[in-house]
Amino acid sequence: MDAQRLKENFALVGGNGIDVAEYFYADLFEKNPRLRSLFSGAMAKQHEKLLTALAHIVESVDDEAALVPYLRDLGRRHDGFGVAAEYYPQVGASLIATLAHFSGPAWNEDLERDWTAAYGVVAQVMQEAAAEPVA
C-alpha cells in the first residue's frame, strides 16, 4: 500500500467538501436501504464527522501507533450504534465508489487496490475492538 498515493488522492477528493459525504450516503442508502434506519434523521452533522474521521485516518495511515487506538475507540462506539460486522463491506463498497466518482480520470487500479487494502485494515481493527468484551 502506497500511503503517499492515498494521501494525494484523498486531498484531491476532499477538495469537493461536503459533496463527498452526501454522495457517499446517497450511494450507501440506495444500495442498502436497510441501513438508513441506523442513522438519526439529521445527517448534516454526520457528514462533517465522517469527513473529519476519514481525514484523520488518512493522515495517520502510516502511523500505526496513533491510528490503532483511534480505530479501536471508533469501532467500540460503532458497536453501540448497532453496526454489525456484515455492514462493513457495504460501507467499504460505497466509500470506494465515492472515491472513484470524485477522482474522475485520476482513478486507476492502483488506487482501487490501495484503498481496498486500507479500508480492510480499518474495518478489521474496528470490528475486533467491537467484538471484545468491555474491560
Interface ranges with ligand HEM (CB under 6 A): 35, 38-40, 46, 49-50, 53-54, 57, 74, 77-78, 81, 83, 87-88, 91, 122
Shortest Å distance, C-beta 23 to ligand HEM: 16
**Residue 86 buriedness (CB in 10 A; 0-12 / 13-18 / 19+):** exposed
Minimal distance, residue 12 CB to ligand HEM, in Å: 19
18: Cα separation from own chain's centroid: 14
| Residue (12 or 74) nearer to ligand HEM, CB | 74
CB of 114 to ligand HEM, least distance (A): 15
Give CA 27 to chain center in angstroms.
Answer: 13
Which of 46, 108 has the CB closer to ligand HEM? 46
Helices H / strands E in the chain, number of each: 6, 0
Grid coordinates belonging to 62: 502510516
Shortest spacing between CB 66 and ligand HEM, in angstroms:
15
- Nearer of residues 67 and 122 to ligand HEM, judged by Cβ: 122
From the list 87, 4, 71, 2, the residue with the least C-alpha distance to 38 is: 87
